[in-house]
A and B are shown apart, each in its own frame.
Chain A
């Protein structure tokens, strides 16, 4: 089955700097890669996603890139703000109809 690895596990940046979180997956048949943001005690919220027929997608300050050959995808947050502080999860949807999540990255944005 699919295996998703996520790095780093923790990330601390200064407000205004950029943050990058990287994930790798194992199943070349995976074709959908969402990113979720989870604030403490709350539900994971879908913030951006990308499909395997696209290399990059942007939504304001966040962007996701996908390298199918290398089987990795990344989340980029620019001009970080304190409210970006949360745990971020990447995921990959494999051909067995289930979603495999990375272990999460705890992002702290220092004001």
Chain B
């Protein structure tokens, strides 16, 4: 158990639509990271939140946004979806204490038709 919950597990939607992916880290872990993994591709860092604030931004499209709430769960919002957005989206929790370890959730598989 990585201590991260992601919902939904699978999501199928159409082009042009908007979806929200949810991530809940273990209680006490302040950092949340979002990654995108396309088919047969590596892991692309999207964005990091720490204690409710954006800390780092990677290759995140303008159509995507995220936020972290006071209870430390996070949501990744994907809008104006395109076929190429079909991918696995992982959330990872960062351990407290600044040791940088990241533990990944089970992921949300998004399919855009």
Residues of A with Cβ closer than 8 Å to B? 32, 34, 36, 42-46, 49, 89, 91, 93, 96-104
Is the pair A49, B48 in contact by a Cβ cutoff of 8 Å? no
* Cross-interface CB contact of B100 among A42, A45, A89, A93, cutoff 8 Å: A93
Interface string of B72-113 (1 = CB under 8 A from A): 000000000000000000100000000011111111000000
Number of interface residues of B (CB under 8 A): 21
List, in ascending order, chain A residues with CB within 8 A of B57's CB.
98
Residues of B with Cβ closer than 8 Å to A? 2, 33, 41-45, 48, 55-58, 90, 100-107
* Cross-interface CB contact of A46 among B43, B103, B106, cutoff 8 Å: B103
A34-B101, A43-B107 known; A101 and B90 CB under 8 Å? no
List, in ascending order, chain A residues with CB within 8 A of B43's CB.
44, 89, 91, 101
In the docked arrangement, what's the CA distance between A96 and B90, Å? 20
Nearest CB on B from A13, distance (A): 21
| CB nearest neighbor in A for B44 | A101
List, in ascending order, chain A residues with CB within 8 A of B41's CB.
103
Nearest CB on A from B104, distance (A): 4
A34-B101, A49-B101 known; A98 and B106 CB under 8 Å? no
List, in ascending order, chain A residues with CB within 8 A of B56's CB.
96-98
Q: Report, nearest first, the 4 A-B pairs whose CB atoms are least far apart.
A: A97-B56, A43-B104, A98-B56, A101-B43
Is the pair B45, A100 in contact by a Cβ cutoff of 8 Å? yes
